[in-house]
Amino acid sequence: MRADAKRNYDRIVEVAREVFREQGYDASLDTVAKRAGVGPGTLYRHFPTRDALLDAIMQNWMDRVDEAADKALTHEGSPRDLLLAWFEQYVALISLHKGGPAKITSAMGDPDSPINTKCQVLASASERVVGRLREEGVLKQGVDTLQVCRLVGGVATVADQAELDQAAVRPMLEVVADGLVR
């Protein structure tokens, strides 16, 4: 890729991240192009579909998911505390963009979703945390990682749509954690 094309690519991804954070994933791609200082043709040459642009934005995010799971697994304290540490990270990760929690949560477990790969990364990180607690025998019988992802994603969706802060979200996450731990 030529240096100017690489700069345009990077600028489009950076601006799209900002626009999607402000307006949600359904924001106009024309707005992204204008703010990035490129024409629509340049945007579509690099990203032929909205999903291709989302993939580029989410690559960095996927790396952060694994780091967050690693951090949660080193958390000292009770199994409930470990779950809450992961849940708070999980909510933060899927709440970076307005509308993100609903989009990601509704795509969880859907192999036909265009963001299925990202959902699998998130589910895999969740399985590392939930699986460890399952192996330790501290989770209630039948706790399924996909169900946990959907529950925590539901809390994140409510928080996103109601514009709740972390202090308002924490009690809801505590209810979820209490329902999972023996």
Q: What is the pTM assigned to this prediction? A: 0.76
The pLDDT of residue 93: 93
Residues 102 and 136 in one domain: yes
- Residue range 99-139, pLDDT digits in tens: 889 999 999 999 998 788 889 999 999 999 999 999 999 99
CA 64 to CA 15: how far, in whole Å?
A: 19
Does one domain contain both 10 and 96?
no
Q: Name the token pair of 127.
A: 């399985």
pLDDT number for residue 57 = 84
**Mean pLDDT within 150-160:** 98
Query: For 52-72, what is the mean pLDDT?
Result: 87
The string of pLDDT tens digits covering residues 134-149 is 999 999 999 999 999 9
Task: For residue 112, give the 3-state DSSP assignment.
Answer: coil
Is a pLDDT exceeding 80 seen at residue 169? yes
Q: Do residues 95 and 134 both lie within one domain?
A: yes
Length of the chain (residues): 182
Number of domains forming the structure of the chain: 2
For tokens 């909510």, what's the residue?
91
Task: Please spell the DSSP secondary structure of 48-110, one letter per residue.
Answer: SSHHHHHHHHHHHHHHHHHHHHHHHHT--S-HHHHHHHHHHHHHHHHTSSTTHHHHHHHHTT-
Domain containing residue 106: 51-180
